[in-house]
């Protein structure tokens, strides 16, 4: 790893309110297919999960990580988001965002040792 020296996620979270319940979270309107930037200037999320505010802030602060993010498929973005959102403690979530941005900065395309988003499979089964 190259050792990310930019601001940490904790610095961004300091100024953010606690994450609201899922039904109150802002959504990224205007997301079209594989577009990485949405019409309102946000960064696209995955196929099941929208991009969380704290991950968006971290990506915007790390141009190299954002470049890799822009090259990911929606399914690959979904894996990163799900991996981060399944953290049970806020400390773990912050570590995952920081580690994820460092790895994206180095060109890594998927989180290590992650079996995949279980939510995607549940939605697929319900639709089929």
The 10s digit of each residue's pLDDT in 67-81 is 999 999 999 999 999
Q: What is the pLDDT of residues 33-90, one digit of tens each?
A: 334 444 445 798 988 889 999 999 999 999 999 999 999 999 999 999 999 999 999 9
Number of H helices, E strands in the chain: 6, 0
Residue that has been written with the tokens 């997301």 in this structure? 31
Whose CA is closest to 60, among 116, 121, 9, 106?
9
CA 18, distance to chain mean position in Å, is: 17
Looking at residue 37, the DSSP 8-state letter turns out to be: B
SS3 letters across 54-96: HHHHHHHCCHHHHHHHHHCCHHHHHHHHHHHHCCCCHHHHHHH
Is the pTM higher than 0.75? The answer reads no
């Amino acid at each position: 790893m190259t050792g990310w020296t930019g601001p940490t996620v904790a610095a961004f979270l300091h100024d953010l309110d606690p994450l609201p319940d899922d039904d109150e979270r802002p959504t990224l309107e205007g997301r079209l297919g594989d577009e990485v930037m949405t019409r309102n200037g946000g960064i696209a999320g995955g196929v099941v999960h929208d991009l969380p505010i704290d991950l968006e802030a971290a990506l915007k602060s790390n141009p190299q990580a954002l470049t890799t993010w822009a090259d990911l498929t929606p399914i690959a973005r979904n894996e990163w988001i799900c991996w981060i959102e399944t953290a049970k403690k806020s400390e773990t979530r912050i570590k995952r965002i920081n580690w994820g941005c460092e790895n994206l900065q180095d060109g890594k395309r998927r989180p290590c040792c992650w079996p995949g988003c279980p939510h995607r499979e549940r939605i697929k089964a319900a639709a089929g």
